[in-house]
Structures are given as C-alpha cells and as structure tokens.
A = this chain, B = another copy of it.
C-alpha cells in the first residue's frame, strides 16, 4: 500500500502498517495488536511482525492514531508573552524538566505564547478545541478567551505553574512566595534592620502581591508599621527587570532617611540595582543589605554574591507534569494546590545594619 515510488529522488519516508503486514504475512489488525498489546498475540507472529517493522523502518503515524482514538499525545505549555529576565533564565530548565517527564509518559510538548493580542489567544484556543492538544500547563495568569470559547471549558486538564490559580479552579503548582519572603524579612529584622526598600514587579501581579505581602506580614509580626517599607517600581513589566532595578536605584537616592535593607521581587532587579547603587558610592552589605527572589545562578558571582530565594523550578515542573498526568488518567480532581518550598541561599549581600 505504500504509494511512494521507488524512483530515484522520490521521497521515501513512510512504510505503512499495511506494508509491515504484507511483509510479515499477516493481517493489518494483527500488526496493530502486536505493536500495542504485545500480550494478545502469538509469540512467533509477534517476532515476525517486529522484524518486518524494523526492516521497513516502520513508524506509526501519530495523526492517524490520534484521530482514531480521539486523543492527541501533545501537551501544550503556555508561556507568558513577556518573559521577564528572572523567569526567562529558568524557562529553559522548566522546559527541559517538563519535557523529560512528559516523554516518559509518552507525551510531547508544544509551546504556545500568550501575548496580549487576540491572535495568540485565538491560536491557543484553536489548538485546544481542534483536538491537537491533550492537556495544558500554563505559566500565565490569564486564561485565553475569545468569542465564546474559553480555555477553561475546553474540557482539557490544566495545570498552572508558578502562579496560584486554584481559585479559578485550576490545579496549581507554586512555591511558597509569601512565606519565604516573610521569613527572610524576619531575619533582616532580627539582624536589626528597621527601614526597608521593596523593589516591585507590576502592580497586582501574583508574585508581587505575594512577596510584598510577605514583607508586610513580617513587619506586623515584629510589631513594626507598614510605613517601614518604601516601594519602588510597580509600573513596569517583569520583562524589564533590569530597568526596574536601575530606576529603583534612582528612587533610592532621593530618600531622606535611607533604608538599610532591600528586598527585590526578582534577581535581575537586584542585580542592576546593586550595580548602580555601588556606582553611587554605597557599599553592600556595609550600607545596605540586599536580597531577592529567583535563585539565578549568576547571583553567586555578583560582587558581592547576592542572597536569593531559589525557586525549585525543576521540582515544580515535575510536580506539574505529575498532576497533569494524573488528571489525564482519572476524572477525580487531586489536590488543587501543591506548594513546593523554596530555598533561601544566604550570601554576603546581607549583614547587620551599621548604626
């Protein structure tokens, strides 16, 4: 049945199941069984079939199979359109980790970008409703929704990673943003710090809300007023982390009573902030302690090495896949929210305040 010509120069990819069947001298359905349910077929015929398949270099057609069984084996990961540097650094790890886990389950990973435009939303919805995709991992807070169709009621299992969207009914894998920042802030307070400077991500963003919330909680727990912390930033997108840090350094310079400890929402903000602040003549941690969030490897090699809260991205990736695969298997909903604890990495950017 292979319609490919033997003519030289002709495409020659694509032995069919029928070709294997003929070569092995059995029926097509037997081949199908031998490949899928090796148990339900005679040992000898199976051997013949395997031999024939190998000889022909047979590879099953995924689309035909998918059409027939009504399922694809593709998982879609939705990345936010604006990747900020901090996350940008970890995205490859996330993808690697997720992809590796998926492959072992027999799945493939497709990428989708969720920009703010309708085109990308429509595109994602086409994928979801067009049967191309079996499940979704989403790293964005917005669920695509265009004229009636919404990802939420696509019938696909969806796992949110990094952002807690369990309120919206999505399985979520997150780290303990709030708690981690709270603990770090508490530690700074313990060291004697009383005036704080917070470098913010975009106002209202989940990470910003959680992490800033952690700062406030720590202040409250220590009986300190919220006034103790100055915010900078909040208008720029995470994508511009370095710019935010630069801007924050300018803001910092204008303050009369200078804070002694800085908490940044992401590593890149801290990195550019530190760079500018040092250039302005301040020393870290002598004049100023700095800590940030993400755990970028580069922090170790800053001067001074930067303390940071490391996101357990690989574990989160694995957890997200596990959750998704579970959801694909059963109809029951497992735990809606999985928290993977972060790890605080203490480096030289933190010290007790001078005065």
Nearest-neighbor residue (CB-CB) of A74 within chain B: B110
How far apart sit A85 and B147, CA to CA, in the bound complex (Å)?
41
Asked if residues A59 and B125 are in contact (CB atoms below 8 Å), the reply is yes
Asked if residues A129 and B57 are in contact (CB atoms below 8 Å), the reply is yes
Tally A residues with Cβ within 8 Å of B. Answer: 67
A14 near B: Cβ within 8 Å?
yes
A236 near B: Cβ within 8 Å?
no
A88 CB to nearest chain B CB (Å): 5
Q: Chain B residues with Cβ under 8 A from A111's Cβ?
A: 95, 99, 108-111
A242 near B: Cβ within 8 Å?
yes
Asked if residues B298 and A268 are in contact (CB atoms below 8 Å), the reply is yes
A64 near B: Cβ within 8 Å?
yes
Asked if residues B89 and A54 are in contact (CB atoms below 8 Å), the reply is no
Asked if residues A103 and B132 are in contact (CB atoms below 8 Å), the reply is no
Asked if residues B59 and A63 are in contact (CB atoms below 8 Å), the reply is no
Asked if residues A85 and B297 are in contact (CB atoms below 8 Å), the reply is yes
Interface string of A267-310 (1 = CB under 8 A from B): 01001101100100000000000000000011011110100000
Interface string of A102-132 (1 = CB under 8 A from B): 0100001111110000011001011101111
Asked if residues A63 and B67 are in contact (CB atoms below 8 Å), the reply is yes
Interface string of A43-79 (1 = CB under 8 A from B): 0000000000010010111111011000010100001
Residues 79 to 94 of chain A near chain B (Cβ within 8 Å)? 79, 81, 83, 85, 88-89, 91-93
A149 near B: Cβ within 8 Å?
yes
Q: Chain B residues with Cβ under 8 A from A79's Cβ?
A: 92, 95-96
A329 near B: Cβ within 8 Å?
no
A225 near B: Cβ within 8 Å?
no
Contact among B89, B99, B108, B272 for A88, CB-based, below 8 A: B89
Contact among B64, B148, B271, B278 for A298, CB-based, below 8 A: B271
Q: Chain B residues with Cβ under 8 A from A127's Cβ?
A: 62, 108
Asked if residues B100 and A113 are in contact (CB atoms below 8 Å), the reply is yes
Asked if residues A120 and B149 are in contact (CB atoms below 8 Å), the reply is no
A155 near B: Cβ within 8 Å?
yes
A108 CB to nearest chain B CB (Å): 6
20 CB < 8 A contacts A-B: A13-B154, A14-B129, A54-B147, A59-B126, A59-B130, A62-B131, A63-B66, A74-B110, A79-B96, A83-B96, A96-B113, A100-B113, A108-B127, A108-B132, A109-B111, A242-B300, A268-B297, A272-B300, A275-B303, A278-B303
